[in-house]
Amino acid sequence: MILARGLRKSFGDFEAVKGIDVDVRRGEAFGFLGPNGAGKSSTMRMVAAVSPVSGGELRILGMDPAVDGPSIRARVGVCPQEDTLDTELTVRDNLYVYGRYFGLPRKEVRSRVDELLEFVQLTEKSGSMVEDLSGGMKRRLTIARSLINRPDVLLLDEPTTGLDPQARHVVWDRLFRLKQQGVTLVLTTHYMDEAEQLCDRLVVMDKGVIVAEGSPLELIRAHSTREVAELRFGVGEHDAIAEKVSDLGDRVEVLPDRLLVYSEDGEEVIAKVHERGLQPAAVLVRRSTLEDVFLRLTGRTLVD
Amino acid sequence: MLTTSVGRAAASPVSAGEATGLLIYRNYLAYRRGWYIFVSGFLEPVFYLFSIGVGVGQLVTGFEFNGQQIPYAEFVAPGMLAASAMNGSLLDSTFNFFFKLKYNKLFDQMLATPLTTLDIARGELSWSLLRGGIYSAAFLLVMVAMGLVSSWWAVLVVPAALLIGLAFGGICMALTTFMRSWQDFEFVTLATLPMFLFSATFFPITAFPPAVRWVVECTPLYRGVVLCRELTTGALSWGSAVSVVYLVVMGLIGLAIVRRRLDALLLT
């Protein structure tokens, strides 16, 4: 569905995407993970055929965005990072006019609008102005809008950023149903739980390059251990204690309030910690998550 | 000249005509709730016609225009008609266009569909000149009702007003793409107010010294005013053709700039 080879994007001197290879297959949910500024949105805009490619090769549905922009966009659904809803129109008119932009016949658009309002649970709001909707409703409306052309590929740029937990779960639920219906989903996110829930395959991007690729489980296996033991000691003691337990796991990470020991068996780590006479104030054993992979690969430093 | 990179492209599912119609339809939907905003822009030149044309007209005998002696109200009315076409197209090509471009992100959403920047530029310009056209058609009815029209040529004043809308819409949209904030629109007022007052709207340009007169003759509103006056009084000349060409060329240049600027601003 999407094929990129050595894909690049630069803005003046700044290179946002520095040569990435991507293959997205039909019917899968594919994720781009990465911190802010990793190049996810730039990549998405190129795939949406609204941002000219600076270098490399890009094919969407077998077409070249430089030549067949309108034809590609006719078959792709876009849910941008910021809601670009038409604030001067009602909920229903937003969907209707947008559907008409695709050259779809009036009657067809009208029936799709009703169907989609139902799908995103906004039927009762159909006559409201966009400004009067909550953040979650706007997001759902944007998703409904991106589906009006029955796209082969749906591009979602940070679909749940800024939503409360209830609204996120509603969005996830809808996206999951789309995936079941066979729509190819491509999404960017920096929420690891989102990526784990939705993505069959994902790439982790950092500073314009792909640093890891695979299914969530494969990534955890390749870049982290099965379990993590979290140990809390008194403030200021962690650095010293880290040296005493460094041999217990594959890797030990020091945070201001706790130590993370990456290991295949967390309980065993804790038993050994006690054997050595150390008395942590609190312990927790958990499975490794994509978040561990992500932080390992992209670091804990804040990116602006 | 506008289709260099898309020359080989597969046909878009939306034709140019359809796209223009869709943008006009979208703007119609947006205005349905704000029709009073639509009306207020029309009333301004009408008030001027009553105040200056009719009111002051009682103190002024009239002017000679292209060899004819015409009463003052008949002199002012076509000027106000041209001004109403300018006003009509101005609102949608400056403030509203800026709002759609920077705040409503309207064009970003359109560009996620098969619509192109050329479709957007053409559609917005069409809407803007349509608004100018509607204002001037209504104004023409006011003039007929007041007995201020003395020639059947006046029927052509509506297409003439569309040309004024085209010229102002094109140039103003082009300038708007360079604006950074709402404050920058002061420049629009700074340019249009003197045009409104001095483009042979209220008095003939024979009142100016030759150098100033030459400058005024080059302004778009002057060309529009004179064209409208020639049509409502029936005193056509070769100058009319010059005005037509001038307005069309200005509009098309504006359109070409808008399209290029939208490419540069939105397709990054």
Task: Say which CATH number the domain at A11 has.
Answer: 3.40.50.300
Residue A304 lies in a domain: no
Residues A214 and A83 grouped into a single domain: yes
Residue A161 lies in a domain: yes
Q: Which amino acid is at A215?
A: S
Distance from CA of B268 to the nearest CA of A (A): 5
Strand pairing partners for A206?
A209
CATH code, domain carrying A261: 3.30.70
Residue A38 lies in a domain: yes
The answer to whether the Cβ–Cβ distance between B18 and A103 falls below 8 Å is: yes
The answer to whether the Cβ–Cβ distance between B13 and A103 falls below 8 Å is: yes
Q: Give the integer Cα–Cα distance in Å for A217 and A290.
A: 8
Residues of the domain holding A236: 225-287
Residue A301 lies in a domain: no
Whole-number average pLDDT of chain B: 87
Tens digit of each residue's pLDDT (9 = 90 or more) over B168-212: 999 999 999 999 999 988 888 898 899 999 998 888 888 899 999
Residues A30 and A142 grouped into a single domain: yes
Tokens of A173: 């639920």
DSSP state of A229: E
Indicate the number of domains in chain A.
2
Residues A178 and A265 grouped into a single domain: no
Residues A50 and A128 grouped into a single domain: yes
Burial B186-198 (b: 16+ CB within 10 A, else e): eebeeebeebbeb
Rg (chain A; Cα; Å): 23
DSSP state of B12: P
Q: Give contacts of B5 with chain A, Cβ < 8 Å.
A: 66
Q: What is the model's pLDDT at position A302? A: 62
Low-confidence stretches of chain A (pLDDT beneath 50): none
The nearest alpha carbon in chain B to A67 belongs to B9
Q: Give the integer Cα–Cα distance in Å for B113 and A112.
A: 16
Residues A53 and A39 grouped into a single domain: yes
Residue A270 lies in a domain: yes
Residue that the structure tokens 């270098």 belong to = A55
Chains A–B, number of C-beta pairs less than 8 Å apart: 93
Residues A37 and A184 grouped into a single domain: yes
Contact A127, A164 (CB under 8 A): no
Phi, psi (5° rounding) for residue A224? -145, 180
Among A165, A186, A220, give the residue marking a domain's end. Answer: A220
The answer to whether the Cβ–Cβ distance between A70 and B114 falls below 8 Å is: yes
Q: Is the dihedral of CA A275, A276, A282, A286 positive or negative?
A: negative
Tokens of B105: 């992100």
Q: Give the integer Cα–Cα distance in Å for A40 and A34.
A: 7
Chain A from 37 to 56: CB within 8 A of any B CB: 45, 48, 50-52
Residue A33 lies in a domain: yes
Tens digit of each residue's pLDDT (9 = 90 or more) over B39-83: 877 888 888 888 888 888 888 887 888 778 888 888 889 999 999
The answer to whether the Cβ–Cβ distance between B113 and A82 falls below 8 Å is: no
Q: Give contacts of B113 with chain A, Cβ < 8 Å.
A: 73-74, 98, 101-102, 149
Strand pairing partners for A2?
A24, A60
pLDDT of B10 > 60? The answer is: no
Residues A125 and A169 grouped into a single domain: yes
Q: What is the model's pLDDT at position B9? A: 44
Among A196, A220, A244, give the residue marking a domain's end. Answer: A220
Q: Give the integer Cα–Cα distance in Å for B172 and B101.
A: 14
Residue A101 lies in a domain: yes
Residues A202 and A241 grouped into a single domain: no
Q: What is the model's pLDDT at position A303? A: 55
Residues A123 and A208 grouped into a single domain: yes
Residues A209 and A80 grouped into a single domain: yes
Residue A298 lies in a domain: no
- Partner-chain residue, chosen from B8, B18, B267, that has the shortest CB–CB distance to A67: B8
A78 touches chain B (CB under 8 A): yes
Among A220, A255, A277, give the residue marking a domain's end. Answer: A220
What mean pLDDT is predicted for residues B220-240?
89
Q: Give the integer Cα–Cα distance in Å for A274 and A279.
A: 6
Residues A191 and A249 grouped into a single domain: no
Q: Which of A144, A148, A196 is nearest to A170 (CA)?
A: A144
Residues A64 and A157 grouped into a single domain: yes
The answer to whether the Cβ–Cβ distance between A103 and B14 falls below 8 Å is: yes
Q: What is the model's pLDDT at position B11? A: 58
- ipTM of the complex model: 0.83
Cα A281 to Cα A231, A278, A284, B39, B258: the distances in Å are: 8, 10, 11, 73, 66
